[in-house]
Chain A
Amino acid sequence: GAGVSQSPRYKVAKRGQDVALRCDPISGHVSLFWYQQALGQGPEFLTYFQNEAQLDKSGLPSDRFFAERPEGSVSTLKIQRTQKEDSAVYLCASSLALGLTGGRGKTGELFFGEGSRLTVL
Chain B
Amino acid sequence: AQSVAQPEDQVNVAEGNPLTVKCTYSVSGNPYLFWYVQYPNRGLQFLLKYITGDNLVKGSYGFEAEFNKSQTSFHLKKPSALVSDSALYFCAVRGRNDYKLSFGAGTTVTVRA
Q: List A residues at the B interface (Cβ < 8 Å).
A: 4, 6, 31, 33, 35, 40-45, 48, 55-56, 91, 93, 98-99, 107, 109-115, 117
B105 CB contact (under 8 Å) in A41, A109, A117: A41
Once A41-B106, A42-B90 are accepted as A-B contacts, the answer to whether A107 and B51 lie under 8 Å apart by CB is yes
Instruction: Report the separation of the CA atoms of residues A43 and B43 in the bound assembly, to the nearest whole angstrom.
Output: 11
Decide: A109 and B90 in contact? CB cutoff 8 A: no
Q: In the bound complex, what is the Cα–Cα distance between A112 and B99 (angstroms)?
A: 15
The total of Cβ contacts below 8 Å across the A-B interface reads 53
Residues of chain B within 8 A (CB-CB) of A117 are 41
Name the one of A33, A111, A113 contacting B46, with C-beta atoms under 8 angstroms.
A111
- Complex CA distance for A93 and B45, rounded to whole angstroms: 11
List the 6 closest pairs (A to B, CB-CB), nearest first: A42-B103, A112-B43, A112-B44, A114-B43, A109-B46, A98-B99
On whether A110 and B51 interact (CB within 8 A), knowing A41-B106, A42-B106, A43-B90, the answer reads no
Separation of A107 and B98 alpha carbons in the complex (Å): 10
Residues of A within 8 A of B42 (CB): 114-115
User: CB < 8 Å: which of A4, A56, A112, A113 contacts B100?
Assistant: A56
A45 touches B100 (CB 8 A): yes
Known: A31-B99, A45-B101, A48-B99. A113 touches B106 (CB 8 A): no
